[in-house]
Copies of this chain bind each other. A is one copy, B any other.
Amino acid sequence: MTPDGAMKERAARVIAECRQIATFTEEPGRITRRFLTPPVRDVYAHLSQRMRALGMAVHVDAAGNLRGLWQAGGKEPRKRLMLGSHIDTVPDAGAFDGVLGVVLGLQWVALAQEINLPLAIEVIAFSEEEGVRFGVPFIGSRAVAGRFDPSLLALKDADGVTVESALRAFGLDPAKIPDAVLDPATVAFVEIHIEQGPLLEAEDLSLAAVTGIVGQTRLDLKFSGQANHAGTTPMRLRHDALAGAAEWISSVESLALTTDSLVATVGKALVEPNAGNVIPGSAQVSLDLRHANDSVRIAAAEALLQQASAISARRGLTAAWNYKMNQPAVPMDERLTAFLAESMESAGLPAKRMASGAGHDAMVMAAAVPTAMLFLRSPGGISHHPDESVREPDVEAALLAGRGFLERLAAESR
């Protein structure tokens, strides 16, 4: 078994390997790696070599996911653990979003081999999670979870290339996507990922066991009033759509500040006619609401829409909205999450639990298999940015917690 002192060196290798994979990019000098673009082949060549060195059988499934299977003791055990995350990136990305979960997954395989884990392990590099190329995320994990809608094949990228053509150009057969579904022997999926937020850093913690992925409401809301001359229209005769929207934006913020764990964001504002000397005739704003408890989220959306109506009525405006998304929260598996939290404690770390405010492949996989997620602190809370990073002691902690997790899984299976 790996002595704890060797974990530090292993952590350094994980970080170096992520940075090496970051050199496989569509844009020299920036990390950009969209679904099925040429650098994906380079990533797969690298990871395949790593997998084979660990004694794993490697293939790329029909959805473009790279999959390596380690069978304990050379014979197929009854149960299988799946580990992984995605290897596509946003444009001008960092080196760790997604990739870290695959590279750490391979390290966990090495740890599993050392403790003779009585389960097979499949490590998966999901081909598509970010939704950058075709505007729809989770293409890779949808296929593995058996939730790939064939109509997705007709989606086109900015160059007019369909998902179907992109798969074929990569040497894949879209008709075989149903075969990409996870093996029925799979009893657990674990995704290791950077937090992509500032919470662990604010609490000076290395790791968190993720309790669930928050539910999310997105809507667009348009305040309409009367565009008019900024000089000749007295204040009391105005129907200023932006003034109404501003009052509402403040009430959105205020509700979120006073509702535990609710996050609410107005990220977008479009004013018409958007001229300095014209009173705004309309102001369209977005709302993004997230909470781990669906009823809290739904009540918050209703309260905010009531406030929009009340503000509009008082100001002689109208408010109209349409929901763009109403996605329930996805809880992680309690038993697996407890294994992660206990393993953190065994490694001398607080058993921090937190909800994920962002979507992840784990959210899709949870519909098909008991699923857990382990978060690593994001220094500065920075992600989707070249400055994205991960601390070596936190990676070391993830290795120690991983060994504990695998030991608990082994104990349960023996």
Interface residues of A (CB under 8 A from B): 195-199, 202, 214, 216, 218, 220, 228-237, 240, 242-243, 245-247, 249-250, 253, 256-257, 261-271, 273-280, 283, 286-288, 290, 324, 356-359, 381, 383-384
Known: A232-B381, A240-B265. A250 touches B253 (CB 8 A): no
In the complex, the 4 A-B pairs of residues with the closest C-beta atoms, listed nearest first = A197-B232, A231-B357, A246-B249, A276-B286
Cβ of A279: which chain B residues have Cβ within 8 Å of it? 265, 267
Cβ of A229: which chain B residues have Cβ within 8 Å of it? 196-197, 357-358, 381, 383-384
Chain B min CB distance to A255 (Å): 10
Q: Are A235 and B250 in contact (CB under 8 A)?
A: no
Q: Are B275 and A268 in contact (CB under 8 A)?
A: yes
Complex CA gap A288/B261 in Å reads 38
8 Å CB contact of A263 from B216, B230, B256: B230
Interface hub of A233, A235, A256, A271 (most chain B Cβ within 10 A) = A235
30 contacts between A and B (CB under 8 A): A196-B232, A197-B234, A198-B228, A198-B232, A198-B233, A202-B237, A216-B231, A229-B357, A229-B383, A230-B290, A231-B290, A231-B357, A232-B357, A232-B358, A232-B381, A236-B257, A237-B381, A242-B249, A242-B266, A243-B266, A245-B246, A246-B247, A265-B279, A267-B273, A267-B274, A267-B275, A267-B279, A268-B271, A269-B274, A270-B274
Cβ of A266: which chain B residues have Cβ within 8 Å of it? 242-243, 246, 280
Chain B min CB distance to A4 (Å): 31
Cβ of A233: which chain B residues have Cβ within 8 Å of it? 197-198, 263, 357, 381
Complex CA gap A92/B91 in Å reads 43
Copies in the complex: 2
8 Å CB contact of A267 from B262, B267, B280: B280
Q: Are A267 and B276 in contact (CB under 8 A)?
A: yes
Cβ of A276: which chain B residues have Cβ within 8 Å of it? 218, 220, 265, 267-268, 286-288, 324
Cβ of A218: which chain B residues have Cβ within 8 Å of it? 276-277
Q: Are B198 and A234 in contact (CB under 8 A)?
A: yes
> Which residue of the partner chain B has the closest CB to A289?
B230
Complex CA gap A209/B233 in Å reads 17
> Which residue of the partner chain B has the closest CB to A234?
B199
Cβ of A288: which chain B residues have Cβ within 8 Å of it? 230-231, 276-277
Complex CA gap A230/B262 in Å reads 11
> Which residue of the partner chain B has the closest CB to A220?
B276
Q: Are B198 and A230 in contact (CB under 8 A)?
A: no
> Which residue of the partner chain B has the closest CB to A278?
B267
Complex CA gap A267/B202 in Å reads 38
Q: Are B358 and A263 in contact (CB under 8 A)?
A: no
Chain B min CB distance to A245 (Å): 8
Interface hub of A269, A275, A278 (most chain B Cβ within 10 A) = A269
Cβ of A280: which chain B residues have Cβ within 8 Å of it? 266-267
Q: Are A230 and B268 in contact (CB under 8 A)?
A: no
Chain B min CB distance to A293 (Å): 15
Chain B min CB distance to A348 (Å): 26
Cβ of A268: which chain B residues have Cβ within 8 Å of it? 271, 274-276
Chain B min CB distance to A343 (Å): 23
Complex CA gap A262/B233 in Å reads 10
Complex CA gap A288/B229 in Å reads 11
Known: A232-B358, A253-B235. A267 touches B263 (CB 8 A): no
Complex CA gap A196/B267 in Å reads 35
Cβ of A249: which chain B residues have Cβ within 8 Å of it? 242-243, 246
Q: Are B263 and A253 in contact (CB under 8 A)?
A: no
Cβ of A383: which chain B residues have Cβ within 8 Å of it? 229, 232
> Which residue of the partner chain B has the closest CB to A383?
B229
